[in-house]
């Protein structure tokens, strides 16, 4: 089956409030729409405790100085073939790329 990631307006608004630069924002949106469906078969087993309707999915992106971790709650039960992002959290940690 071809799965499709759905990002409702409140989630898009939350992503906008993260204050990401354009490059990181494009990479996040691309990961949501490409990686979430691609990884569904391997990820759906990570159910959210006490909320069987959704599973956990993590996206990690790096920029020059930070590691950005995005934790998503994805509903795979409401509509067949649709992976609806119900929630997203953003955390950062320092990242020091190797020196050349």
Q: Would you give the distance in Å from CA 48 to the centre of its chain?
A: 15
> Is the model's pLDDT at 78 over the cut of 70?
yes
pTM of the model: 0.91
Half-sphere exposure of 72 (CA within 13 A, CB side): 30
Q: What is the mean pLDDT of residues 43-65?
A: 93
> Is the model's pLDDT at 40 over the cut of 80?
yes
């Amino acid at each position: 089956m071809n799965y499709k990631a759905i990002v409702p307006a409140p989630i898009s608004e939350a992503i906008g409030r993260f204050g990401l630069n354009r490059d990181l924002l494009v990479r996040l949106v691309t990961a949501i729409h490409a990686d979430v469906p691609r990884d569904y078969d391997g990820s759906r087993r990570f159910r959210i405790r006490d909320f069987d309707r959704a599973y956990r999915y993590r996206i990690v992106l790096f920029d020059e100085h930070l590691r950005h971790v995005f934790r998503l709650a994805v509903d795979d039960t409401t509509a067949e073939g649709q992976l609806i992002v119900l929630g997203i959290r953003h955390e950062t940690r320092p990242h020091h790329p190797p020196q050349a």
